[in-house]
A and B are shown apart, each in its own frame.
Chain A
Amino acid sequence: MNNPKVEVIEDYCKGCSICVEFCPTDVFEMVGFVARVVRPEACTRCMLCELRCPDFAVKVY
């Protein structure tokens, strides 16, 4: 399986920080008012960020 690719669509992100807080491997950090992927190599493809993002902003491939 390929390495996971995590993407935050910044135009959709409203900065609720659910992904930042509940990611088990701390892939995200808040940068200003939006979440940003800072440690993509830590992603285990558990998909919880994508499932819990209320704004359709997080995608894991």
Chain B
Amino acid sequence: MAFDYEQYLRPGKLPHIWCPGCGHGIVMKGLLRAIDRCGLQKNNTAIVSGTGCASRLPGYVDFNTLHTAHGRAAAFATGIKMAKPEMDVLVVGGDGDGIAIGGNHFIHACRRNIDMTYVLMNNYIYGMTGGQFSPCTPTGDRTSTTPYGNPDPIFDVAKLAIGAGATFVARTTAFHATQIDKLITAGLRHKGMAVIEVLDDCPTAFGRHNKFRSVVEMMKRLKDIAVPTQAASQMSPDQLRGKILTGILHQEEKPEYCEQYQQVIARAQAAAKF
């Protein structure tokens, strides 16, 4: 039976602004299915984004939404969660927004292990501003600002999040549509900072510079490079070259920031003898 997405969408907003074949729409659908599965209430849920293509998402969904300055989504979301710890806070954004311009906010949200879910749509590029390379553009690939190939090594978003202290880190691709909502559901149910990286396709800005002539070719590439973590444990390093692990990559229990902060408030009030 068709899932009723309209119940979570603002009326009259479709068709959306994203290009033909852009995976952001697939991720948005997965996000809405996950929200439905977890039973999040519209009035008690905040969806925060920075700036960019992926950050258009909150404009379409009928929750408490916030569209903020470029890269600052995690900072604003931290503020919401601190002021209203009972709210479910989600952050959505792209790789340029979350890892480059907002890299600092991203790592510190991970370090604090604040209870929010960050869905990072990694399409390897700054799509909205004209296809400039981002820290996630693969080495050697061409963009409008690296026409002879990108010399930079990439940020591995999952490793960065794990290293910074996030307690739930998962990765999937826009091709694996059912896995998107499963991982976001697991992230929403996790207490602490959950980072779900979704490898995405940008046919307009990334594909045309890198010999992907169609959306379908880009989707097939996502299908080919993804290896589930269980299957990867039985593969040789040679077989894993050029592949990307998908599934839950890291999960642990650590003290959550809002709870720790409440304890600080209690200690301060006790010391002040209110």
Task: Please give the residue numbers on chain A whose beta carbons come within 8 Å of chain B beta carbons, in ascending order.
Answer: 11-12, 14-18, 21-22, 48, 50-57, 59-61
Contact = CB atoms under 8 A, between A and B. Distances in A.
A6 to B, nearest CB: 10
Interface of B: 1-3, 5, 9, 14-16, 18-26, 29-30, 175, 177-178, 203, 214-216, 219
Contacts, number: 65
Given A54-B25, A56-B25, A56-B29, A11 B178 contact: no
A50 B2 contact: yes
A13 B29 CA distance: 15
Contact of A54 (B2, B3, B18, B216): B18
Given A53-B25, A54-B26, A16 B20 contact: yes
A56 B53 CA distance: 17
Given A15-B20, A17-B215, A61 B1 contact: yes
Contacts of B24: 54
B5 A14 contact: no
Given A56-B9, A56-B25, 10 more contacts: A14-B15, A16-B21, A16-B215, A18-B21, A22-B216, A54-B25, A54-B29, A55-B15, A56-B16, A56-B29
Contacts of B9: 56
Given A50-B2, A60-B2, A55 B216 contact: no
Contacts of A11: 15
A14 B20 CA distance: 5
24 contacts: A15-B20, A16-B203, A17-B215, A17-B216, A18-B215, A18-B216, A18-B219, A22-B216, A48-B177, A51-B26, A51-B29, A51-B178, A52-B26, A53-B25, A54-B21, A54-B23, A54-B24, A54-B25, A55-B16, A56-B5, A56-B25, A56-B29, A61-B1, A61-B2
